[in-house]
Amino acid sequence: MTAYGNFPGSRPRRLRTTPAMRRMVAETRLDPANLILPAFVREGIDAPVAISAMPGVHQHTLDTLRKAAVEAVSAGVSGIMLFGVPEDAKKDARGTAGTDPDGILQAGLRAVREEVGDDLVVMSDLCLDEYTDHGHCGVLDGDGRVDNDATLERYAEMAQVQADAGAHVVGPSGMMDGQVGVVRDALDQTGYEDVSILAYTVKYSSAFYGPFREAVGSSLTGDRKTYQQDPANARESLRELALDLEEGADMVMVKPAGPYLDILAKVAESVDVPVAAYQISGEYAMIEAAAERGWIDRERAILESLTGIRRAGAQMILTYWATEAAQWLGRDARR
């Protein structure tokens, strides 16, 4: 046989011969503990409501949210990220329902903590978009623009209310300048030094958020391009990263995940804090739609997408498949 370089002496296929061999030499491991379940809890419903653009995902009642939390714990999932969906009549220009101690997100936080205690890391989305009648992530000024500094005052109030309700972690996601520092100060000044901040550090203005808008009943007018990042930019992400770390972020996130694996890798290489990535609604919907049509193997595609995010550097992955994927991983580990 003719020799080409190190061939035939070097044969990489030797390390791919059996499932056991492939497991042994795998460079990346995906574990249930890497997964976080995003969940929507909706006010004023007595049964779960299906989200048409996200097959298999529902807006929960408090009771079904409790059950979802228990299922996540049983599967080995590490965390749950809660989003509140208030009644439309309670939305206003300042998103006051978001700081109501009895508001739906706070009720959801209390329900999950009562049900699973510390067996699940209970996280809360800290943003105004679900609660404003205009759908933006902050307070608007007289010209209809998002007022960064006025919004920070509202975020400080939200942080305290969410911590009061039992959040282990708050996730400021509005992409306001200075949001992490303001939230950290608000928590520390009210006795919540142990509540962590998962900063939505790198959050792009993405078309892939589309199904999420239905999930939270968003009433957005216009777009969020003046505060979310331009998909064309990479270096800007490292600037946002440096600022969030200076302000006290305990963990950082890249969102979306799949289209931005290059950014995720840059972030993971640059920090010594845990890194999360959010596999968002559009990423979920694309795989579900293709699988429903028989174009791809659903389970393999889901696990491959999660492995890719993990390989790029995410220690934690927020995914709507968290519980199901964790169950698959547990099954495979027992084989």
Please name which of 204, 209, 171, 202 lies closest in space to residue 187, comparing C-alpha atoms. 171
Q: What is d(CA 309, CA 258) in angstroms, rounded to the nearest whole number? A: 7
Other Cβ atoms within 10 Å of 227 Cβ, number: 19
Please name which of 280, 321, 132, 286 lies closest in space to residue 217, comparing C-alpha atoms. 132
Q: Quick: pLDDT tens for 75-86.
A: 999 999 999 999
**What is the phi-psi region of residue 124: left when phi exceeds 0, alpha when psi lies from -120 to 50, beta otherwise?**
beta
Is the pLDDT reported for residue 159 higher than 90?
yes
Return the structure tokens found at 217.
């009943």
Please name which of 36, 38, 40 lies closest in space to residue 214, comparing C-alpha atoms. 40
Q: What is d(CA 213, CA 203) in angstroms, rounded to the nearest whole number? A: 16
Architecture of domain 31-251: Alpha-Beta Barrel (3.20)
Angle formed by the axes of helices 179-189 and 235-247, to 10°?
20
Q: Quick: pLDDT tens for 54-94.
A: 999 999 999 999 999 999 999 999 999 999 999 988 988 88
The answer to whether the beta carbons of residues 253 and 171 sit under 8 Å apart is: yes
pLDDT computed for residue 5 by the predictor: 73
Average pLDDT across the chain, whole number: 93
Q: Quick: pLDDT tens for 130-158.
A: 899 887 888 888 888 889 999 999 999 99
Q: What is d(CA 101, CA 98) in angstroms, rounded to the nearest whole number? A: 8
Other Cβ atoms within 10 Å of 28 Cβ, number: 11
**Confidence band for 212, pLDDT divided at 50, 70 and 90:** low
Residues 6+ apart with CB under 8 A from 133: 91, 92, 93, 219
Q: What is d(CA 201, CA 316) in angstroms, rounded to the nearest whole number? A: 14
Residue positions annotated with a catalytic role: 203, 255
Please name which of 200, 175, 199 lies closest in space to residue 248, comparing C-alpha atoms. 199
Is the pLDDT reported for residue 4 higher than 90?
no
